[in-house]
Amino acid sequence: MSTGSPVGSHRVVSPAGALPQAADRLDPDPGIADDEVRISVERLNLDAASYRQLHTAHGGDGEAVRAEVRAIIERRGKMHNPVTGSGGMLIGTVEEVGPRSPLGLKAGQKVATLVSLTLTPLHIDDGLARWDGKSEQVPTSGHAILFGRSIAAVLPPDLPEHLALAVLDVCGAPALVRRVVARRASAETTVAVLGAAGKSGSLSLAAARDAGAATVVAVVRDEIEDACLRGSGLADEIVIADATDPLRLAKKVEHALDGRGADVTVVCVDVPGCEHGAILSTATGGTVVFFSMATSFTAAALGAEGLAADVEMLIGNGYVPGHADYALDLLRANPHLKDLFIDRVGEETE
Ligand code: NAP
């Protein structure tokens, strides 16, 4: 058994010198180095921005989406959407643990990987035959590799696996929102969440409340999402707005907050083009958390500069210590949040 690089650089096929996330292609060989772990894969969770892009590009043709995802995995040795640059995560069973793995995993454990599929060596052996290409969750079989420096969570016994997978995919959002709101240490903090009826959005609402925000505004796409959130207690105000329409969005958020922008704006929408609306909706000295993978760094940076907006802008790093447990605890503590998730991810199919 060889010794691997803890960051997985020995798995990079091309280009030489890149880390796995930036690589074009990884080597998913099932033989593990002495600090690696091999997982028998059961289900992938495609990142929402990636799935939406594929679904839109193929006009909703599930067979074409399935063929493209299969081709990406076979070509790249990982599920790394070349258009959105995003991936997702997976669940499976630990098959083999190298003797020097620091992850503390044991063979036979059911786990979710908490690192992106964009850097996880992955091989599928069923051609995605059990997936219709019409949902973010992909039942499949094959194997994936975790490096020495990686993260995985043992699946909780009290939640259906597909539900836990959906929560863990976006668990970085609520942990970051809690940190940002708590850091302001003000009883007056206002928070606006764009894409609030979605998975990361609804968890962010709950986290803002938990962290002591004074007013939480949910921005949703339409009346259907409004109805999903109404009565849930997750938000003080619900605003229906297109997050890609900056002027109308900012006007509606300010209207909900007595003429001010939000102290913290969280972008959880899965489509591009929300940067300027988020910046305009944020008060001077406030913070914008760009959790969405459809965010353009250029549009955010140049947009803020061009608007002379003195706002802090955070990239939603998917890792915050304790993020998995925190997200699962929020779900357990809030039946409305759990119902929202179940409505979104459906009943377990297998
Ligand atoms: P999700 O559950 O699909 O939620 C997205 C929400 O945005 C949906 O409610 C959607 O409404 C809404 N929406 C779409 N277009 C909108 C618009 N123009 N105006 C207002 N709302 C709109 O997605 P998710 O799983 O929470 O993921 C959200 C984002 O986080 C994605 O971009 C994903 O890539 C990213 N993400 C980031 C990380 C990280 O580590 N930073 C990890 C995972 C995911 P409809 O459903 O009606 O379309």
pLDDT digits (tens, 9 = 90+) for 122-132: 999 999 999 99
- To test the pocket of ligand 1, the residue of 268, 270, 289 to mutate (highest count of ligand atoms within 8 Å of its CB) is 270
- In the chain, helix, strand, coil percent, each to 5? 35, 25, 45
Q: How many residues are recorded in the chain? A: 350
- To test the pocket of ligand 1, the residue of 80, 167, 170 to mutate (highest count of ligand atoms within 8 Å of its CB) is 170
Residue 348's pLDDT is 66
Ligand 1 site residues (CB inside 6 A) read 47-49, 86, 169-170, 172, 195, 197-201, 221, 225, 242-244, 268-271, 291-294, 316, 318
Residue 345's pLDDT is 87
Atom of ligand 1 nearest to the CA of 170: 43
Report CA(49)–ligand 1 centroid distance (Å): 7
Residue 179's pLDDT is 98
Supply the DSSP symbol for 239. Answer: E
Q: Which two tokens stand for residue 232?
A: 């849930």
Nearest-CA neighbor of 141 among 123, 117, 154? Answer: 123
Atom of ligand 1 nearest to the CA of 270: 32
Q: Cα–Cα distance between 269 and 341 in angstroms, integer?
A: 16
Pick the residue whose CA is nearest to atom 11 on ligand 1. 221
- The CB density around residue 3, as the number of other CB atoms within 10 Å, is 13
Q: Which residue stretches of the chain have pLDDT < 50?
A: none
Q: Cα–Cα distance between 130 and 55 in angstroms, integer?
A: 17
| C-alpha of 7 from chain center | 21
Q: Cα–Cα distance between 93 and 188 in angstroms, integer?
A: 45
What is the three-class DSSP state of 327?
A: helix
